[in-house]
Structure 1
């Protein structure tokens, strides 16, 4: 089952606005894709000027056997364009699958 882990840096000064945009995009994705789980995480020990954030996307067990498809990955990237004004540097996407279920 394919899962996505997407990380990037946000200037701390833009964190409140970026948070609202990120949560809204994840809510839209969950609404269109029942069973999709989307989380937003932040590294706790970041410096004052920037924060490292991570979005995760996966399906609940047995909802979508293949997990996050390439088509959904492209849709997530398209939705994430709203975050572009807030991101310092690149947005990195990693794909993982479970070692065991």
Structure 2
């Protein structure tokens, strides 16, 4: 069974392009260094001038949260995020026999 990591948070609409660039750079480095498949998604609607964004990391190792925290700090993502980064883990269950 593999564990996937999902992180969601709110960002001001005017910071969207900067966030995409910073997360993109961070995720490229993570893929190059650790081989982890990543993704970035955004909800289509805005609320109060903010969008909800989600970072996706598939099949992460047990110590990945610390690796990701260092990378996010290096890219200074907290300066763009309104509130906290909400982290959730999901297990991959196959329905095929």
Task: Work out the number of aligned pairs and report it.
Answer: 92
Deviation of residue 48 (structure 1)? 5.9
| TM-score, L = length of structure 2 | 0.87
What RMSD, in angstroms, separates the aligned Cα atoms of the two structures? Answer: 1.3
Deviation of residue 74 (structure 1)? 1.2
1:1-101 → structure 2 map (5 Å cutoff): 1-34=2-35, 36-47=36-47, 49-58=49-58, 67-81=59-73, 82-100=76-94
| TM-score, L = length of structure 1 | 0.84
**Aligned counterparts of 2:37 and 2:94: Cα–Cα separation in 1:** 19
User: Where does structure 1 differ by over 6 angstroms across 4 or more consecutive aligned residues?
Assistant: none
Deviation of residue 46 (structure 1)? 2.0
Q: Identify unmatched segments of 5+ residues in structure 2.
A: none
Contact 1:2 1:68 in 2 (8 A): yes
SS of residue matched to 2:60:
coil
SS of residue matched to 2:45:
coil
**Aligned counterparts of 2:6 and 2:68: Cα–Cα separation in 1:** 11
